[in-house]
Amino acid sequence: AGSAMVVQPRALVGVVQMRASGIAITSHWRIGHLHSWLTLQFRYLAFHGPGRLIVKGCRGVRVEPAVGWRLVNQAATLGFSANTLYSVSRCETFVSYWRGIEELFNDQFKGADAIYLYEEMPGLHRKAGITGRGLQGFTDSVLKVFGV
């Protein structure tokens, strides 16, 4: 009770909640933040209240405390607690990104009593960059803007 998690919809498999006190889902738009423009993710879905979120990830999911600044591959990030300090950091050259080899940014997490979730290994079927993703990459980018 009183806590919230931000979770990528692509990772959410199910929600388990008590009948008496359900989980509230809110949508948060971050149009005025620089990292939203850098990553093209303007909308976040937050799950508030007591319950369990069932998530999936390629080769498993890790849950870690956000102690110190921790960098995670942006393609592997699945979610984080709402009290986490979240930002992005450039990690690769633009040429690697353009050629579809690596993501351009990593996610950073930090916070007292905060956690974050990430995939053990991002799916090999997901390619990075503009040219590496083609039409599917364009569609994924448009859906990412709307938090889907």
Give percent of the chain with pLDDT exceeding 90. Answer: 16
Locate 140 and state its tokens: 């994924």
Residue 130 pLDDT more than 50? no
For 37-62, b/e burial (b = at least 16 CB within 10 A) is: eebebbebbbbbeebebebebeeebe
Structure confidence by residue, pLDDT tens digits, 7-31: 988 888 999 988 888 889 998 888 8
Tell me: pLDDT of 131 over 50: no
Q: What is the pLDDT of residue 76?
A: 87
Using the structure block, give the residue that is written with the tokens 């937050």: 46
Please tell me which residue, 122 or 117, carries the higher pLDDT value.
117
- Length of the chain equals 148
CA angle 10, 72, 126 (to 5 degrees): 45
133 or 105, which is more confident?
105
Residue 138 pLDDT class (50, 70, 90 cuts): low
Cβ atoms of residues 141 and 40 within 8 Å:
yes
Question: Which among 33, 80, 78, 28 is positioned nearest to 56, based on CA atoms?
Answer: 78
Mark 136-145 as b/e (b = at least 16 C-beta within 10 Å).
ebeeeeeebe
pLDDT in tens, 46-77: 999 898 999 988 888 989 998 888 888 888 88
- List residues bridging with 107 in a β-sheet: 72, 88
**Average pLDDT of the residues of the chain:** 80
Task: Answer yes or no: is pLDDT of 129 > 90.
Answer: no
